[in-house]
A = this chain, B = another copy of it.
Amino acid sequence: MKKFERIYQDLEAKIKSGIYPTSTLLPSENELTKIYDVSRGTIRQSLDMLEKHGYINKQQGKGNIVLNHAAYTFPISGIKSYKEIAQEYQFSVETKVILNKRIKVPAFILEVIDIDPDEEFIHLIRVRYIHDKVEIIDHDLIRASVIPEIPDDVANNSIYEYFEDDLGLTISYAHKEFFAEKATELDQDYFEINADDFVITVNSFVYLNDTTFFQFTASRHRLETFKFQEIARR
Contacts and interface: CB of A to CB of B under 8 A. Distances in A.
Contacts of A177: 227-230
Contacts of A204: 232
Count the copies.
2
A234 B172 contact: yes
B232 A79 contact: yes
Given A67-B211, A211-B23, A232 B172 contact: no
A178 interface: yes
Given A65-B211, A198-B198, A223-B198, A176 B234 contact: no
A231 B174 contact: yes
A173 interface: yes
Minimum-distance CB pairs A-B, first 10: A180-B223, A79-B234, A177-B229, A179-B227, A173-B233, A174-B232, A79-B232, A78-B232, A171-B234, A178-B228
Contacts of A232: 77-79, 173-174, 176, 204
A17 interface: no
6 contacts: A57-B173, A72-B175, A78-B233, A172-B234, A174-B233, A179-B228
A92 interface: no
A233 B79 contact: yes
A4 B131 CA distance: 50
A78 B180 CA distance: 21
Given A173-B232, A175-B229, 8 more contacts: A62-B210, A69-B175, A174-B231, A175-B230, A176-B231, A178-B227, A178-B228, A179-B227
A23 B229 CA distance: 32
A59 B175 contact: no
A229 B198 contact: no
A211 B57 contact: yes
Nearest to A230: B176
